Structure 1
Amino acid sequence: MYRYDNYDQTLVDERVTQFRDQMTRYLDGRLGEEEFRPLRLQNGLYIQKYAPMLRIAIPYGMLSSDQLRRLASIARRYDRGYGHFSTRQNLQLNWPAIETVPDILGELAEVQMHAIQTSGNCIRNTTSDQFAGIAADEVEDPRPWCELIRQWSTLHPEFAFLPRKFKIAVTGASSDRAAIQVHDIGLRLWRDDEGEVRVRVLAGGGLGRTPMIGDVVRDDLPWKHLLTYLEACVRVYNQFGRRDNKFKARIKILVKALGIEEFRRRVDAEWEHLKDGPQTLTPAAVEAAKTHFPEPERRPVSDEAIAAYEQQRQEDRALARFVTNNVTDHKVAGYKAVTLSLKRRELAPGDVTSDQMEAVADLAERFSFGEVRVTHEQNLVLSDVPVDQMVALWQALDELGMANPTVGTLNDIICCPGGDFCGLANAVSIPIAQALQERFEDLDFLYDLGPLDLNISGCMNACGHHHVGHIGILGVDKKGEEYYQVSLGGNSTDDASLGKILGPSFYREDVPDVIDKVLKVYVESRHADERFLDTYRRIGIKPFKERVYA
């Protein structure tokens, strides 16, 4: 994974020193709230419902075991002994004392981490496929390209105060696991007939109050122009994006207002000033980035060991369930990627304790070259597990409560912190997730349903990505009371779609019954081997609505 050079380390260290001075002046009363607000936001510091919240950057979702241990230590010393992994592959601390944040940032800098641009109206943390570099269906490893984007966008002087926050996602696989169609900019790496890397650029996607699917701005951008073209896109947004209304300030509103043809024309016009300029990528620059992501020294796994693993899987039903749901194919024979579930009723989805973080760091060193990935679905991944060590890893995960064989099922819920923490939330979301996990905990039932995404947001900001859940749940406020709106048919993968609202909202206690009725319509209506989304798209929303509101 990427390691800082002297330039990186100096930049992050100096940023810590700068913010420490800003914090001191704020606490002394020499900086007012309005002056301090943009300074703290661009260092990841929010003021939430009950306490500050610090969002720590995990670029493209990659962590070393040392970094994970430091996060565990920070959560224990400065917070309440746990952290929350978000859908943007970051870690959030929900209870740090505001005066301790410079010390936290200092400790992060010691292990090549920071919180720069994890909030504020700037280019946020670039996200990618959690299986980048090891996926069997990968055309091009997106991690070096993500790193180049990170270096270009970090503290970019022109883009420090955009009309609104700006998010970029990158995939290099044939299957989109990075949700590129619902980002401000989505990038898909592909290869032409000569084997050259090209980039499909999408713009204007996003969720929130006005959800939209992105449009293709350019389908075949040569790789060397990636940064200059991105610069042109963000310049057009910075110049023409609305600043008079924060609810209409995202790039998706600009693209919709102009139309994709006019937006493309303006980007191309701006690009004329940038194309072939100093930011044009060279083969040397790309190769330098790729050297930071070398292949680990994987030992060969014998055919006999692979056969023994398959035999164990056939003979042990519990192991088979775990492998089917939590284990993903790898590009190297004899290796697998293993997803560690962070979904259990004792903790909110995405939450992990300091003890668990330290234990996972140990497992990463023992089984996966000291590397951990954070997923869009709020789980963790060990990316390089030899199959002859799978049983030992599975048993260790079971002791940690992270072997739940439910990844990709109804119980693998994406969920924002909601009203329990967030000052913007209209309703709680964590108790809804826990109630649904309790109601639908039978594994045979979950497996019979097949893959199913259920996403929960506590407000229209859609941090839980409810718009693209096969089933989405949104907390709404009606005259001071919490209600929940259900939508169906969303999807964040290649055939992306936005869910349609089922109808009037429901009381909190009614939500499990509503979801139960939705699932019964699916089970009764599906064809053989048909998934929920396929059934919904075939029969439409009407049968679900009739059952729920009967």
Structure 2
Amino acid sequence: MYQYDQYDQTIVDERVEQYRDQVRRRLSGELSEEEFRPLRLQNGLYMQRHAYMHRIAVPYGNLRSDQLRMLARIAREHDRGYGHFTTRTNIQYNWIKLEETPEILAKLASVQMHAIQTSGNDIRNTTADQFAGVAPDEIVDPRPWAEILRQWSTFHPEFSWLPRKFKIAVCGSKEDRIAVQIHDLGVYLDRDANGEVVASILAGGGLGRTPIVGKIIKRGLPWQHLLTYCEAVLRVYNRFGRRDNMFKARIKILVKALTPAKFAEQVEEEWQHLKDGPSTLTQAELDRVSQYFVPPAYEKLADTDASYEKHLLENRGFARWVERNVRTHRVAGYASVTLSLKFPGVAPGDATDKQMEAVADWADEYSFGEIRVSHEQNLILADVKKRDLFAVWEKAKAARFATPTIGLLTDIIACPGGDFCSLANAKSIPIALAIQDRFDDLDYVYDLGDLSLNISGCINSCGHHHVANIGILGVDKDGAEWYQVSLGGEQGMGARLGRVIGPSFSAEEMPDVVQRIIDTFVENRIDGERFSDTFDRIGIAPFKARVYASQQPAHA
């Protein structure tokens, strides 16, 4: 993992002291809330319904064990004993006191972490594959490139006041596991015929009020030009993006208005002023960053392990967990483990201080002291020996981290919703818990196969409902909470947006609505099809007819 040098640490430490003085002036009344608002947002601090929420950056989802222990300590000492992992691989604390936030940032700085640019109209946390460096389908490890983009974008003076927030994702595998196509700017890494790293650049993706799948605007970009080309994209957006209407300020609106082809022409023209300039990457710079992402000291192991195989045969619960929560590793004798943060009675993505400390301990014992965060709001131990999988499973089960449902219906993605967020129209967490409670039969959920269900409490789509097989959006109807349902969304290389099935539903109706959707799928499924395959084959009409057959919704 990347380690701060003296410049990184100095910048973060000085930012803490700068912010400490800003908080002092706010508490003394020297700064009004209007004056303080942009300052706190630049440090990841939001005012929510009940308290301040503090969002902490987890660059490309990578954590050291000492960092996770610090996050646990902050949860215990400054929150209510838990944190919430988000779809941008960050962590949020929902019950923060303003006067304690400088101390939180100081504690983060002591383990090379910060909250810089986790909010505001700037370049947010860059995300990457949670299985980077270990996935068998990986072509290029995206982490050095994500780190280069992080360093370039942090405090970039030209892009500190963009028309709107800006999100970047980097993928270097055949499978897109981080939803690149719904980002403002996406990077697909590949190798050309000579084995050199090249990039395809996407622009104009995003969800929210106007969901759009991003389009490729540049193919075969040599790696040396990654920063200069991205800078050209940002310059065009910064110059021509809407600033008169925040709902039309994202880059996706600009790309759509110009058309992707015209936008690409403008970027290409701007790039000619930057190409081969000071931001051109050199081999020395790439080597400097890449040295922090070399493979750990793997043991030379056989690909099979007798004790592991024995446990698979004798323990059905362990075998099921392995099938859903354990992924193949590129190194023989190792595997990657996803620890589920989706268990009954707990908001998706939440983890207690004790759970975080337990995971940090497991990382030290079994996975080279490293933890990953996925945009599905789960935690990953990327480098576990197969012979240790049974021990990890037993410990995860005791800590309620072993729900064997990764990729299944109850592996729900959900934002905090109206329980916390001041922007939300409706609650997300109670709906997620009600659906999990309805579908508590693991055998039944397991038989359904891969099926995504995402929930957002408002049109900002922090729960990525647009790209779920079943998407649920909280809407306000005359002051009451209602829920709109969409079907057929997909993320990944073939990303697409779901289609709204019709009028919205009350919270009480939602478990029955999802049940009817699932019943329709099961009745029409052929030969073990995935939900998305059945939906493509039969269309939306049978689902709609079944859902609305027994009622006349009162709200459109």
TM range (shorter): over 0.9
Asked if 1:187 is matched to 2:166, the reply is no
Aligned length: 549
Q: Where in structure 2 are there 5+ consecutive unaligned residues?
A: 550-556
The Cα shift of 1:529 comes to 2.6
Measured in 2, the distance between the counterparts of 1:203 and 1:216 equals 7
Q: Which amino acid letter does the alignment assign opposite residue 116 of structure 2?
A: I
Q: Secondary structure at the match of 2:384?
A: strand
Note the 1:40-79 alignment, pairs <5 A. Answer: 40-79=40-79
Asked if 1:159 is matched to 2:159, the reply is yes
Kept after mapping to 1: 8 A contact 2:228/2:279: yes
Q: Secondary structure at the match of 1:476?
A: strand
The Cα shift of 1:308 comes to 3.7
Q: Secondary structure at the match of 1:338?
A: strand
Measured in 1, the distance between the counterparts of 2:132 and 2:337 equals 13
Q: Secondary structure at the match of 1:534?
A: helix
Kept after mapping to 2: 8 A contact 1:415/1:464: yes
Note the 1:393-542 alignment, pairs <5 A. Answer: 393-542=392-541
Q: Which residue of 2 aligns with 1:299?
A: 299
Q: Which residue of 1 aligns with 2:259?
A: 259
Asked if 1:341 is matched to 2:344, the reply is no
Listed one character per residue, the Cα deviations across residues 248-270 of structure 1 (whole Å, up to 9, x for unaligned) are 00000000000111101110111
Asked if 1:106 is matched to 2:103, the reply is no
Q: Secondary structure at the match of 1:224?
A: helix
Kept after mapping to 2: 8 A contact 1:340/1:379: yes
The Cα shift of 1:312 comes to 2.2
Measured in 2, the distance between the counterparts of 1:42 and 1:357 equals 26
Q: Secondary structure at the match of 2:293?
A: coil
Note the 1:136-215 alignment, pairs <5 A. Answer: 136-215=136-215
The Cα shift of 1:37 comes to 1.0
Q: Which amino acid letter does the alignment assign opposite residue 332 of structure 2?
A: A
Listed one character per residue, the Cα deviations across residues 38-85 of structure 1 (whole Å, up to 9, x for unaligned) are 111110000001100000000000000000001111110011110000
Kept after mapping to 1: 8 A contact 2:55/2:91: yes
Q: Which residue of 2 aligns with 1:280?
A: 280
Listed one character per residue, the Cα deviations across residues 365-408 of structure 1 (whole Å, up to 9, x for unaligned) are 01101100000100000000000011111000010000111111
Measured in 2, the distance between the counterparts of 1:219 and 1:225 equals 12
Q: Which residue of 2 aligns with 1:247?
A: 247
Listed one character per residue, the Cα deviations across residues 276-328 of structure 1 (whole Å, up to 9, x for unaligned) are 0010001111111110112111122235x524423321332111100000001
Measured in 2, the distance between the counterparts of 1:385 and 1:413 equals 25
Measured in 1, the distance between the counterparts of 2:205 and 2:380 equals 27
The Cα shift of 1:537 comes to 1.1
The Cα shift of 1:191 comes to 0.7
Q: Which amino acid letter does the alignment assign opposite residue 84 of structure 1?
A: H
Task: Tell me which moved more, 293-302 or 266-275.
Answer: 293-302
Measured in 1, the distance between the counterparts of 2:211 and 2:373 equals 25
Measured in 2, the distance between the counterparts of 1:418 and 1:362 equals 31
Listed one character per residue, the Cα deviations across residues 155-186 of structure 1 (whole Å, up to 9, x for unaligned) are 00011110000000010000000100000001
Kept after mapping to 1: 8 A contact 2:302/2:332: no
The Cα shift of 1:13 comes to 0.4
Kept after mapping to 2: 8 A contact 1:240/1:254: yes
Measured in 2, the distance between the counterparts of 1:346 and 1:545 equals 30
Kept after mapping to 1: 8 A contact 2:61/2:90: yes
Task: Tell me which moved more, 119-128 or 345-354.
Answer: 345-354
Measured in 2, the distance between the counterparts of 1:468 and 1:324 equals 24
Kept after mapping to 1: 8 A contact 2:475/2:481: yes
Q: Secondary structure at the match of 2:118?
A: coil
Measured in 2, the distance between the counterparts of 1:270 and 1:439 equals 54
Q: Which amino acid letter does the alignment assign opposite residue 362 of structure 1?
A: D
Q: Which residue of 2 aligns with 1:228?
A: 228
Q: Which amino acid letter does the alignment assign opposite residue 112 of structure 2?
A: Q
Measured in 2, the distance between the counterparts of 1:22 and 1:489 equals 47
Q: Secondary structure at the match of 1:291?
A: helix
Q: Secondary structure at the match of 1:21?
A: helix
Measured in 1, the distance between the counterparts of 2:73 and 2:513 equals 41
Q: Which residue of 1 aligns with 2:554?
A: none
The Cα shift of 1:198 comes to 0.6
Q: Secondary structure at the match of 1:424?
A: coil
Measured in 2, the distance between the counterparts of 1:171 and 1:117 equals 21
Measured in 2, the distance between the counterparts of 1:529 and 1:494 equals 22
Kept after mapping to 1: 8 A contact 2:183/2:206: yes
Kept after mapping to 2: 8 A contact 1:301/1:388: no
Q: Which runs of 4+ in 1 moved over 4 A?
A: none
Q: Which residue of 1 aligns with 2:552?
A: none
Listed one character per residue, the Cα deviations across residues 394-436 of structure 1 (whole Å, up to 9, x for unaligned) are 0000100001111111010000000000000000010000000
Aligned-residue sequence identity (percent) comes to 62
Q: Where in structure 1 are there 5+ consecutive unaligned residues?
A: none
Measured in 2, the distance between the counterparts of 1:450 and 1:302 equals 30
Kept after mapping to 1: 8 A contact 2:125/2:167: yes
Q: Which amino acid letter does the alignment assign opposite residue 368 of structure 1?
A: S
Listed one character per residue, the Cα deviations across residues 197-229 of structure 1 (whole Å, up to 9, x for unaligned) are 110100000000000000111011110000000
Kept after mapping to 1: 8 A contact 2:187/2:202: yes
Listed one character per residue, the Cα deviations across residues 307-363 of structure 1 (whole Å, up to 9, x for unaligned) are 442332133211110000000110001100000010112321000000111111001
Q: Which amino acid letter does the alignment assign opposite residue 100 of structure 1?
A: E
TM-score normalized by the length of structure 1: 0.99
